[in-house]
């Protein structure tokens, strides 16, 4: 569906489409001992505490042109954090046409656009294997907007805000709005894939799979790093401290863990 800027503006009432982006990232690490695992989780908790996550979400509100109404944040014991921001619409001077293009968003310059009351949330989940060895960190971010701009414009910034091995992204447009003739609009921008909102430099680093249901305005993309360097997954030391056999065993465990997360099933 191709709409001109004039058609987008000429609505009956306001644009009440709900656009939701769910962004999930995973960081995988090999922690051989309990002490290494505890040190890794402590490091993650410090890197992604509630204060830093709040700064990330505030930048997201700038990108989508929102005003912060309320912030609720919490660091949990023994680990993890959550932040929820309630936002309201920003002032609309004019509608920039690039907001409708399938292209990466800014890092993180402000885009001033209309946004009705909505919310942005993040929750973190440090986790580890009961038999030691594998530790994972997951962050779930949800950006839900009502109005003309798509939260996909914040995706580029979110990707650059986290060190990630695996990403899964879901985007859905719900509801409908009407034009001045009463015609229902179930989506107000063209989209063929979430990948079009990710820079080429980033896409070249990942294997990517799309699962899209176009007739329902549901889009799903998942990504896994192509290159594997064991040094990036050892906490506190490098692979030259390990024997060749240890390197092979740890590599096999890490790649299996990443494949299981990427494909969403247990391989063994």
Q: What value does the mean pLDDT take over residues 161-187?
A: 90
**pLDDT range class, residue 189, cuts 50, 70, 90:** confident
Number of domains present in the structure of the chain: 1
**Helix ranges restricted to H, the chain:** 5-9, 34-47, 50-63, 155-161, 200-203, 244-263
The residue segments making up the domain with residue 61 are 18-89+113-263
Using pLDDT thresholds of 50, 70 and 90, give the confidence band for residue 256. very high
- Predicted structure pTM score: 0.82
Asked if residue 24 is part of any domain, the answer here is yes
Please check the confidence at residue 91 and state whether its pLDDT lies above 60. no
Question: Rounded distance, CA 173 to CA 178, Å?
Answer: 15
**Is 123 part of the annotated catalytic residue set?**
yes
Q: Tell me whether residue 154 is in a domain.
A: yes
Place of tokens 């899964």: 168
How far CA 168 is from CA of 33, 128, 183, 200, in Å, comes to: 29, 20, 34, 17
59 is catalytic: no
118 catalytic per annotation: yes
Q: For residue 181, is it within any domain?
A: yes
Supply the pLDDT for residue 61: 87
> Which CATH number characterizes residue 254's domain?
3.60.90.10
Name the active-site residue from 59, 118, 150, 161: 118
CB half-sphere exposure, 193, CA atoms < 13 A: 11
Asked, for residue 101, whether it belongs to a domain, the answer is no
What average pLDDT does the chain have?
84
Is position 219 within any domain? yes
Q: What distances in angstroms separate CA 64 from CA 71, 131, 265, 267, one per listed residue?
A: 17, 43, 35, 39
Q: Is residue 45 part of a domain?
A: yes
Active site residue: 59, 135, 146, 161, which one? Answer: 146
Q: Which pLDDT band, with edges at 50, 70 and 90, does 177 fall under?
A: confident
- Residue 102 in domain: no
pLDDT tops 90 at residue 63: no
Catalytic residue among 20, 88, 119, 123: 123
Which tokens is 193 given?
A: 């894939």
């Amino acid at each position: 569906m191709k709409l001109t800027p004039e058609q987008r503006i000429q609505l009956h009432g306001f644009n009440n489409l709900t656009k939701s982006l769910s962004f999930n990232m995973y960081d995988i690490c090999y922690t051989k001992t309990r002490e290494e695992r505890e040190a890794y989780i402590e490091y993650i908790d410090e890197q992604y505490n509630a204060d830093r996550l709040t700064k990330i979400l505030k930048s997201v509100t700038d990108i989508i042109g929102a005003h912060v109404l309320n912030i609720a944040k919490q660091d949990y014991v023994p680990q993890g954090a959550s932040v929820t921001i309630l936002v309201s619409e920003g002032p609309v001077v004019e509608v920039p046409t690039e907001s409708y293009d399938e292209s990466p968003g800014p890092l993180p310059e402000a885009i001033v656009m209309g946004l009705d009351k909505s919310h942005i949330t993040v929750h973190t989940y440090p986790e580890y294997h009961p038999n030691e060895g594998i530790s994972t960190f997951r962050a779930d971010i949800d950006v839900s907007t009502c109005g003309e701009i798509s939260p996909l414009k914040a995706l580029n910034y979110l990707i650059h805000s986290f060190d990630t091995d695996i990403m899964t992204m879901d985007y859905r447009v719900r509801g409908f709005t009407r034009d001045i003739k009463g015609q229902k609009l179930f989506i107000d921008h063209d989209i063929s894939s979430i990948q079009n909102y990710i820079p080429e430099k980033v896409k070249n680093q990942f294997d990517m799979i799309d699962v899209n249901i176009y007739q329902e305005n549901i889009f799903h993309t998942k990504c896994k790093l192509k290159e594997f360097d064991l040094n990036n997954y050892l906490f506190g030391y490098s692979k030259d401290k390990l024997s060749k056999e240890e390197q092979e065993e740890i590599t096999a465990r890490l790649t299996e863990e990443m494949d299981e997360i990427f494909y969403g099933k247990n391989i063994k």
